[in-house]
Amino acid sequence: MDNNISLTLKVWRQNDAQDKGRFETYKLEAVSTDSSFLEMMDILNEQLIGEGKEPVAFDHDCREGICGMCSLYINGRPHGPDDDVTTCQLHMRKFKDGETITIEPWRSAGFPVIKDLIVNRSAFDQIIAAGGYTSVSTGGVPDANALPIPKPDADEAMDAASCIGCGACVATCKNGSAMLFVSAKVSHLALLPQGKVEAARRAKAMVGKMDELGFGNCTNTGACEVECPKGISISNIARLNREYLSAKLQD
Amino acid sequence: MKLDSKIPEGPLSEKWNNYKAGQKLVNPANKRNLDIIVIGTGLAGASAAASFGEMGFKVKNFTIQDSPRRAHSIAAQGGVNAAKNYPNDGDSVHRLFYDTVKGGDYRAREANVYRLASVSNDIIDQCVAQGVPFAREYGGLLDNRSFGGAQVSRTFYAKGQTGQQLLIGAYQALMRQVNAGTVDMYTRTEIVDYVMVDGKCRGVIARDLVTGEFSRHFGHAVVMATGGYGNTFFLSTNAMGSNGSAAIKAYEKGAAFANPCFAQIHPTCIPVHGEFQSKLTLMSESLRNDGRIWVPKKKEDAEAIRAGKKKPTDLSEDERDYYLERRYPAFGNLVPRDVASRAAKERCDAGYGVGATGLAVYLDFKSSIERLGEDAIRARYGNLFQMYEKIVDDNPYKEPMMIYPAIHYTMGGIWVDYELQTTVPGLFAAGEANFSDHGANRLGASALMQGLADGYFVLPYTIQNYLADDIRTPRMTGEEKEFVEAENAAKAKFEKLMSVQGNRSVDSLHKELGLVMWDFVGMARNKKGLEEAIEKIAAIKKEFWTNVKIPGSDKGMNVELEKASRLADFITTGDLMARDALNREESCGGHFREEYQTEEGEALRQDDKFAYAACWEYQGDDKAPVMHKEDLNFEVVKVAQRNYK
């Protein structure tokens, strides 16, 4: 059951945001195929520390595919070759013995590199801050069962709300568009009566912020939907466009 | 050290109302002039920071992550409890309170738990208003499911991603306040110390994890909500970055650390598979609603399975030992976590374990799939099954899952009074970081409840009672000598770490600590082992401070340096846990001392000697801490041996 493989890694190294950056090549022997991709990165870093070199900086946290912290562009695909997983859930059994793996950070104007494979995704927080919420304060709200919500609507809202904010959609988009991320939030809230109240206003505010932060336009290539580790559908983008249009018509 | 729990007067069910009726408030004009620092952006931190901002306070909120939405609350799967009694199955605030105290093996403070139960319903209302997409019935109303330690269905859920949805609700409320200018958000920033002025906590020293630079921040009050210290064990279900440093820094500033030995070992995690493993993955307790736990009845079968000669599906019903259903017919697979974990260990230690290592038991969905169909199971647990398959490479719809207990949550934490204030005036602790509500064992779906209760519905009241006396205290600039000295001390600590330049990586030392913790301070503890653990931890401490290797420099981003500073605090935590476990000569909840068990192997409490919270006071580096007792008086609950049979 336990198989070991040897790998050649081409890893992007960049000291800080100002540094130009370059690829470095490392050899790694006897990596168990049961280990996760990030455990393989841990093994690489232990090796580098042993050699007195600086380990590779990469973002990661929960390692169970939900926090959205891990990123990595692996062999040209965000979150690597497996479907419907984040990098932390990708396992080395998806790679062959002797394979060369290229590891890069998210590449997008909206996500500048901080160091090595770590990028700055605070733009997503700014987009949420622009309107990705219901404007209710703590306390003084009605009973949770006061408003029945049809199960299909609640389920669809849940699907849209599954977005983990990792940024794979932006990283894979040739235009560097954040439309899938924005539309998932707009859909999640617009589908529920609690969020419907300010749906048009929200769409306008979030799209405005997205444009301001330098994300590109959507040309419906659908790459985002393919690479999304949580299977967020591009039908959300259609809903966003509807809400946005209705906001514009109200202007 | 004085431990005044400040429990309000009156009958249990009226205490919180009495408190609110008599507490001091701060008027809106004064709120603008009062600063609150919140450390952490999980359920407790984000909900507190958002609520303070809405009320009009000036808030500074810190997180080590790149975004507040990454906090580890996001990984909670199963659900959140509330006493709504929507299913009409006999639930009430009193019953939720009672189940929580009993589930905690009678080591929690009654008044706090009652308040928790009584605000639980408000949490569900609040979350729904925020747009949290809880699961619903076809009629459009909210659905519930059952969790361990309860005979009612009181758990609200959003697929297997309840923590994610609740955290995103709190995060969105928080970002709304960031947009409104009431909350200043500091991401990728770690709090490295607290600043004390005239005996009160008045601020923090922060370190920017990108630049390595230090900064000083003033607050009239400080709230720490940085979660638990489960990563002391290296391998746990916690996120890689989860750490107990903000708690240890508070402890070193004089905050009592209560019941550090109360750590929860969760029964349903994916088993350890190799040395390189970095973390353990939880499979939600909700799976025990429909999954049945078993091992082979005969040792020969277990051996054959371990050797790969037999498969679990080869065994007939008669050849399987559904040991939880056998031992605990009333609760069956839904016994509390500590009971389920110990039962799994008992079977594996006796030689009936499965998997390559023999340290695993089965969680089987066969009967549920036959009864409800695969689609129904997929609708309930689809994402969990997918996660299992990606990690283990087995299909749990066809073969039973393999699970084993792992460290998951810490009930112990910084001691707080009824107002959630620590023994350091002006420093409050919320969520998993405090010790107050779960006693010696936490029931499933109660962590989310407590985090949000503290942040939305408790602190917004109690912190005003403290701040009302501060309306004439002007903001400090950070240039005061206390701030400068605290920053210098913090800088010196990081310089000291960089100066060691030894040969051992941080992870290798952390793994060594983790093994000592698991072997001696884990699921079964005894006097000899704990004494040995204290010695071993002291040796690891010495090794750390003389032989740790941190590449790079303290300028700019240095992940190894971050990890090293946290490991230094995990070592302190590990020592505290072992000392507390040694002191507590009884078995209760997650703390099992082999010397104290019933003939049937159940935990045996010593209520006459240990019905107290053990609160440890820091005495200085390399000095043993001093223990103080907060006696637990049960006015309403009838203390008894827990019985889930």
**Helices and strands counted in chain A (H then E):** 9, 7
The pLDDT of residue B638: 95
Q: Indicate the pairing of strand A4-13 with strand A100-104.
A: parallel
**Interchain pair B240, A61: CB under 8 A:** yes
Nearest-5° Cα angle at A34, A79 to A72 = 15
Backbone dihedral region for residue A63 (phi beyond 0: left; psi -120 to 50: alpha; all else: beta): left
Taking the C-alpha atoms of residue B278 and residue B563, their distance in angstroms, rounded to an integer, is 14
Threshold 0.90, pTM exceeds: yes
CA nearest to B459, candidates B257, B225, B250: B225
A 10 A CB-CB count for B633 gives 12
Do A161 and B165 count as a contact with CB atoms less than 8 A apart? yes
**What are the C-alpha distances in Å from A217 to residues A160, A171, A221, B187?**
20, 13, 11, 28
Residues of B in contact with A56 (CB under 8 A): none
Interhelix angle A199-212/A179-190, nearest 10 degrees: 170
User: Apex CA A220: angle with CA A218 and CA A225, to 5°?
Assistant: 100
Whole-angstrom Cα distance, residue B601 to residue B353? 18
B136 is catalytic: no
Contact B128/A54, CB-based, under 8 Å?
no
CB atoms within 10 A of CB A201: 14
CA-angle at B151, arms to B148 and B152, nearest 5°: 100
Report pLDDT digits (tens) over A140-157: 999 999 999 999 999 999
Which residue type is seen at A197? V
Report the gap between the CA of A223 and the closest CA in chain B (Å). 22
Q: Is B617 helix (H, G, I), strand (E, B) or coil?
A: strand
The reply to whether residue B68 touches residue A125, judged by beta carbons under 8 angstroms, is yes
Residue B129: its chain A contacts at CB < 8 A? Answer: 134, 136, 141-142, 194
Between β-strands B401-410 and B361-364, what pairing exists: parallel, antiparallel or unpaired?
antiparallel
Q: Which residue out of B70, B288, B337, B347 is catalytically annotated?
A: B337
Number of CB atoms found within 10 A of residue B145's CB:
18
Residues of chain B with pLDDT under 50: none
Round to whole Å and give the CA distance between B279 and B285: 18
Q: Side-chain half-sphere of B528: how many Cα atoms within 13 Å?
A: 2
Contact at CB, B125 and A124, closer than 8 angstroms: no
Q: What is the nearest CA distance from B172 to chain A, expressed in angstroms?
A: 5
Q: How far is B591 from chain A, CA to nearest CA, in Å?
A: 26
Nearest to B296 by CA among B310, B275, B278: B310
| Residues A190-207 pLDDT 10s | 999 999 999 999 999 999
Cβ-based contacts of A161 with chain B (< 8 Å): 133, 158, 165, 168
Where do the CATH 3.90.700.10 domains begin and end in chain B? 267-406
Domain B36-264+409-470: top CATH class: alpha beta
Closest of B514, B443, B39, B435 to residue B260, by C-alpha: B435
Distance CA A105, CA A118 (A): 6
In the Cβ-directed half-sphere of A201, how many Cα atoms lie within 13 Å?
A: 9
Q: Which helix (H) or strand (E) holds B246?
A: helix B245-252
| CA distance to partner chain B, nearest, from residue A20 (Å) | 16
A22-26: long-range contacts, CB 8 A cutoff, minimum separation 24: A23/A102
Count Cα neighbours of A243 within 13 Å in the Cβ-side half-sphere: 29
The tens digit of pLDDT for each residue in A63-115 reads: 999 999 999 999 999 999 999 999 999 999 999 999 999 999 999 999 999 99
Residue with tokens 């995103």: B168
Which of B130, B133, B552 lies nearest to residue A158, judging by beta carbons? B133
Strand-pairing partners, residue B206, are: B191, B215
Nearest Cα neighbor of B283 from B108, B142, B408, B413 is: B408
pLDDT for res A2: 57
Delimit the CATH 1.20.58.100 region(s) of chain B: 481-631
CB contact under 8 A, B393 and A15: no
Please give the residue of chain A at the shortest CA–CA distance from B460: A138
| Confidence at residue A1, expressed as pLDDT on a 0 to 100 scale | 45
| B66 to A84: CB separation less than 8 angstroms, yes or no | no
DSSP state for residue B276 in the 8-state scheme: T
Q: Does CATH number 1.10.1060.10 belong to domain A122-250? A: yes
- The class (CATH top level) of A4-114 is alpha beta
DSSP string for B168-201: HHHHHHHHHHHHHTSEEEE-SEEEEEEEEETTEE
Rounded to 5°, angle at Cα B63 from B387 and A47: 60
* Residue type at position B107: R
Residue pair B380/B369 in contact (Cβ under 8 Å)? The answer is: no
d(CA B51, CA B24): 18
Every domain range in chain B assigned CATH 3.50.50.60: 36-264+409-470
Calculate the CA B515 to chain-centre distance.
20
DSSP state of B441: S
Domain B481-631 -> CATH class = mainly alpha
ipTM for the complex shown = 0.98
Size of interface A-B (CB pairs under 8 A): 218
Tokens at A78, concatenated = 């965000």
Q: Do B129 and A120 touch (CB under 8 A)?
A: no
How far is Cα A235 from Cα A212, in angstroms, rounded to an integer?
24
In chain A, where are the structural domains located? Answer: 4-114, 122-250
List the one residue out of B235, B242, B294, B237 whose CA is nearest residue B519: B235
Q: Where are the alpha helices (DSSP H) in B307-373?
A: 323-327, 337-349, 366-372
What is the percent of chain A where pLDDT is above 70?
99
Residues of B in contact with A129 (CB under 8 A): 175-176, 178-179
Is residue B303 within 8 A of residue B350, CB to CB? The reply is no
**Over the stretch B336-376, which tens digit does the pLDDT of each residue have?**
899 999 999 999 999 999 998 899 999 999 999 999 999 99
Q: What is the distance between the alpha carbons of residues B218 and B477, in angstroms, rounded to a whole number?
A: 7
- Asked if B126 contacts A139 with a C-beta cutoff of 8 angstroms, the reply is yes
Q: Is A210 in contact with A146 (CB distance < 8 Å)?
A: no
Q: Could B131 and A158 be called an inter-chain contact, meaning their C-beta atoms sit closer than 8 Å?
A: no
Q: Is the Cβ–Cβ distance between B119 and B457 less than 8 Å? A: yes
Which sign, positive or negative, has the C-alpha torsion B291, B296, B302, B304? negative
Minimal Cα–Cα distance from B603 to chain A, Å?
32
Closest-CA residue in chain A for B173? A133
Residue B51, token pair as written in the block: 């609520």
> Which whole-number Å values give the CA distances from B578 to B338, B583, B617, in the listed order?
18, 9, 15
Q: Specify the amino acid at residue B488.
A: N
What would the CATH number be for the domain defined by B267-406? Answer: 3.90.700.10
Backbone angles phi, psi at B199, to 5 degrees: 80, 5
Is the Cβ–Cβ distance between B201 and B193 less than 8 Å? no
* DSSP run (H or E) holding A135: none
Residues of B within 8 A of A34 (CB-CB) are 273-274
Neighbour tally for B501: CB within 10 Å: 11
Query: Quick one: pLDDT at residue B472?
Result: 96
Fold match, A4-114 / A122-250: no
Kindly calculate the radius of gyration of chain B based on its CA atoms and give it in whole angstroms. Answer: 24
Q: Which residues of A touch B277 (CB under 8 A)?
A: 35, 39
Beta-bridged to residue A101, according to DSSP, are A9
d(CA B131, CA A196): 10
Secondary structure (DSSP) of A28-84:
EEEEETTSBHHHHHHHHHHHHHHTTPPPPP----SSSS-S-----EETTEET-SSSS
